[in-house]
């Protein structure tokens, strides 16, 4: 394998993946990204030009996707509309990018026999009760609850059908909630970090007791590389780092890192249909591919992430006011 195409490489997880794989292999990387509100060209600064190319374009556009797919050995498909709150306000772009975009890519990959890896989410499995012992596995039933997760579930099923019906050489990974550098300030952790840095109180939806299973984005990247190198075609792998925390616990930790009282947050209007809890059992990935997370200490990963936002205000500042005014309109 010499050349790969990374869709959504200017987004949070995509850009971290590009930095990671270019740092750990000699591969040539082409990024295809539409540069929506969530994409930022500056997140890809400093990459070696002889091994890196950026193409601005839409994954729904077959005329763009087809030649790029023909020119590479593998497609890593990260591009998506990714934010649940946006999907509740305006679902249409989620249908277009997550469903039609994935369709356009897998059609090109099947035509050219290109290896395909589909990046997905644990949200396709719906949610768990706060007190139940079980976690999601590769056998869990698909029960998505939001427009976002329904379109991700649909995209997973398209990939599975293309494997079975057309022999597409694809793998799928479903990962838990990521945190780390370059995450848009609309998402929970960067929103609260930048609120605290600005002197605004963090905002918890509902009663703050919903649970997310956090993984550092670099551990997501290393898992995807492991699947690309050793994953079995047609298989799904769940990626997680045993990082379950309630939203309230996360905010309390962020406040303590800033030397502020642990209750200096506000409870705000809940998200409609808000999933209670996600939790991943990643034993298959660990057993079959020998993967394990490097950031096993969540508090240390969080402290490093706070430091990144302190050091990179130029990166997040331009998005902050417009993001907060959108939230104000939603009562969040």
- The yes or no reply on residue 60 touching ligand NAD (CB under 6 A) is yes
Is 122 annotated in the active site? yes
Alpha-carbon gap, residue 41 to 54, rounded angstroms: 9
Q: How far is the CB of 184 from ligand NAD (least distance, A)?
A: 5
Residues 4, 18, 21, 38: which binds ligand NAD (CB under 6 A)?
38
Specify the DSSP element, H or E, that contains 237: strand 236-239
Stretch that binds ligand NAD, among 30-38, 133-141, 226-234, 244-252 (CB under 6 A): 30-38
- Contact positions with ligand TDX (CB under 6 A) in 91-150: 121, 123
Is 148 annotated in the active site? yes
Residues 16, 30, 43, 84: which binds ligand TDX (CB under 6 A)?
84
Which of ligand TDX, ligand NAD, none does residue 245 bind to, with CB < 5 to 8 Å depending on kind? none
Structure tokens at 260: 């502020």
- Quick check: 75 and 115 in contact, CB under 8 A? yes
Residues 77, 135, 191, 220: which binds ligand TDX (CB under 6 A)?
191
Is 237 annotated in the active site? no
- Quick check: 215 and 175 in contact, CB under 8 A? yes
Q: In what order do the strands lie in the sheet with 115-121?
A: 52-56, 28-33, 3-7, 74-77, 115-121, 170-175, 236-239
Q: Which residue, 104 or 183, is less far from ligand TDX as judged by CB?
A: 183
Q: Which residue, 8 or 243, is less far from ligand NAD as judged by CB?
A: 8
Give 137: exposed, middle or buried? Use CB within 10 Å, 0-12, 13-18, 19+: middle
Residues 13, 74, 75, 185: which binds ligand NAD (CB under 6 A)?
13
CA nearest 80: which of 56, 60, 107? 60
Q: Which residue, 51 or 201, is less far from ligand TDX as judged by CB?
A: 201
- Quick check: 277 and 236 in contact, CB under 8 A? no
Alpha-carbon gap, residue 220 to 282, rounded angstroms: 12
Residues 4, 6, 8, 231: which binds ligand NAD (CB under 6 A)?
8
219-237 burial, b at 16+ Cβ within 10 Å, e below that, comes to bbbbbbbbbbeebeeebbb
Residues 28, 203, 216, 320: which binds ligand TDX (CB under 6 A)?
203
Residue numbers at the binding site for ligand TDX (CB under 6 A): 82-84, 121, 123, 177, 187-188, 191, 203-205, 210, 212, 247, 271, 332
Q: Give catalytic residue positions.
A: 122-123, 148
Residue numbers at the binding site for ligand NAD (CB under 6 A): 7-8, 10-14, 33-36, 38-39, 58-60, 78-82, 97, 101, 119, 121, 152, 175, 177-178, 184
């Amino acid at each position: 394998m010499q050349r790969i195409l990374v869709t959504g490489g200017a987004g949070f997880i995509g850009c971290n993946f590009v930095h990671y794989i270019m740092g750990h292999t000699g591969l040539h990387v082409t990024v295809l990204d539409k540069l929506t509100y969530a994409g930022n060209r500056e997140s890809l600064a400093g990459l070696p030009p002889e091994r890196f190319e950026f193409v601005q374009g839409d994954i729904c556009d077959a005329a763009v996707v087809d030649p790029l797919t023909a020119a590479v050995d593998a497609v890593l498909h990260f591009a998506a509309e990714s934010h649940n709150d946006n999907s509740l306000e305006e679902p249409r772009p989620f249908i277009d990018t997550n469903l039609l975009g994935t369709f356009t890519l897998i059609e090109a990959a099947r035509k050219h026999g290109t290896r395909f890896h589909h990046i997905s989410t644990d949200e396709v499995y719906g949610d768990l009760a706060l007190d139940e012992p079980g976690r999601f596995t590769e056998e869990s039933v698909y029960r998505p609850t939001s427009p976002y997760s329904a379109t991700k579930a649909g995209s997973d099923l398209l990939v599975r059908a293309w494997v079975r019906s057309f022999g597409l050489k694809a793998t799928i990974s479903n990962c838990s909630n990521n945190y780390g550098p370059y995450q848009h300030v609309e998402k929970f952790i960067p929103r609260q970090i930048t609120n605290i840095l600005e002197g605004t109180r963090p905002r918890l939806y509902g009663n703050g007791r919903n649970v997310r299973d956090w993984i550092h984005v670099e551990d997501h990247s290393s898992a995807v590389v492991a699947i690309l190198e050793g994953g079995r075609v047609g298989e799904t792998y769940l990626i997680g780092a045993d990082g379950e925390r309630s939203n309230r616990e996360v905010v309390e930790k962020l406040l303590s890192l800033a030397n502020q009282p642990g209750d200096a947050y506000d409870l705000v209007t809940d998200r409609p249909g808000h999933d209670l809890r996600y939790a991943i059992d990643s034993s298959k990935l660990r057993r079959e591919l020998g993967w394990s997370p490097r950031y096993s200490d969540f508090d240390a990963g969080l402290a490093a992430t706070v430091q990144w936002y302190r050091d990179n205000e130029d990166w997040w500042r331009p998005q902050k006011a417009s993001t907060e005014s959108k939230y104000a309109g939603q009562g969040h």
